[in-house]
Amino acid sequence: MRPVKTPIELPIAPMLAKSAKTVPDPDAIDGGYSYEPKWDGFRVIVIRDRAKVELASRSGKSLTRYFPEVVEAVSQYLPEQIVLDGEIVVRRGEPDHQRLDWESLSARIHPAASRIALLARETPAEIIAFDLLALGDQSYLDAPFATRRDALEGIPLASDAPIHLTRTTGDAEVARDWFTRFEGAGLDGVIAKPLAAPYSPGKRIMVKVKHRRTAEAIVIGYRIHKSGKGVGSLLLGLIDEGGELIGVGGIAAFTGARRLELIDELEPLVIRGEDGEAVHAETDRSRFSSSKDISYVPLRPERVVEVAFDQLEGQRFRHAVTFVRWRPDRTPESCLLEQIERAPEYDLGDILT
């Protein structure tokens, strides 16, 4: 990160959230909660010191070079000295039918400068601002969120600026409605922030409530763990409307012991060639896997697993899914894409306005 002058010490870790199953009531904490939508993008600390602009990721790595249009917007629309917490997002769709586009956002992390410039024009990113850490020569880290929010609202923004102030409400019922309704625009859930709490870098002070569902899928293969021992991930499939078995994502995060057990458990399902050796296949190579090993061991599509997931985007699970249990009572033929509950469409523009 380039040296910049601010009233707070940099780099700074963003304040984090702990998971909850339901939206907490306002009186569940001293001082009450403020609620806001949970955006599904890249968390970012935006830092401007006059002509210098930095975009720092949650881990502290710089995102600045990947989003030149965001740097330009920060320089044009935000005060000369400011540090704010927010999210970088990309939207897609026609007016009145827009939603967040994670795939296009992910594609923005590219090593080639020419590609970065092209994507900045084709899939421009925007900032959702939701907390203020410093403004001018004043630090807001020790101020309660209610004060930080008031100061953030006091920053004038042009209506056409690609920088948006996230919505907030003190009404838990409104937040619960957002949780359901805004999912159709690609949002991830709801955040509850203690109104009386200071900004606490790296600490899980907030509460997040995310969408969580389960589905049954067919295990169609596995990848060897990067250590070379055991199953690194299980590849999953579902049957689409045309009766075709399609890949929809995978399960990872197994313990070392479980990785070795899975090799033995799945051995009877391994597809073998005429020489008796396991057949090796490859998944489609993408922009994210140009230098990665995409080979896998294909399995006969006979075993069904129940998984927990956040969202299905297009025909793939939005994030890596979580193993719940084997389902010997379910047949592969019953694992249809149409079983997945999809949120009703909701226009992202209505949330940003």
Question: Does position 343 have pLDDT exceeding 70, yes or no?
Answer: yes
The identity of residue 333, as a single letter, is: E
Give the CA dihedral 237, 89, 190, 175, nearest 10 degrees.
-120
Using the predicted structure, report yes or no on whether residue 293 has a pLDDT greater than 80: no
Q: Which three-class secondary structure state does DSSP give residue 265?
A: helix
pTM (two decimals): 0.76
- Choose between 336 and 140: higher pLDDT: 140
Query: Maximum distance among all alpha carbons in the chain?
Result: 73
What are the DSSP calls for 70-110, one per residue? HHHHHHHHS-SEEEEEEEEEEEESSTTS-EE-HHHHHHT--
Distances (CA, A) of 30 to 25, 190, 204, 307: 11, 20, 16, 37
Question: 288: pLDDT confidence band, cut at 50, 70 and 90?
Answer: very low
Residues 60-93: pLDDT tens digits? 899 999 999 999 999 999 999 999 999 999 999 9
| pLDDT-wise least confident of 71-75, 91-95, 115-119, 286-290 | 286-290
Whether residue 285 has pLDDT greater than 60 = no
Higher pLDDT, 20 or 72: 72
Pairing type for strands 125-135 and 163-165 reads parallel
- What is the reported pLDDT for 139? 98
Beta bridge partners, 237, equal 218, 247
Average pLDDT over residues 275-288: 66
Total Cβ atoms within 10 A of residue 227: 9
Mean pLDDT, residues 315-331 taken together: 84
Which residue type, as a one-letter code, is found at position 96? D
Report the pLDDT averaged over residues 174-199: 95
- pLDDT, one tens digit per residue, over 266-279 is 999 999 988 878 87
Q: Which amino acid is at 283?
A: T
What's the rounded Cα separation, in Å, for the pair 245 and 48? 49
pLDDT of residue 275: 83
Q: Which residues contact 69 (CB under 8 A, 6 or more apart)?
A: 120, 121, 124, 125, 162
Average pLDDT (326-346) is 83
In the chain, the amino acid numbered 112 is A
Nearest Cα neighbor of 128 from 99, 161, 163 is: 163
Query: Please, are residues 100 and 39 in contact by the beta-carbon 8 Å criterion?
Result: yes
Active-site positions read: 38
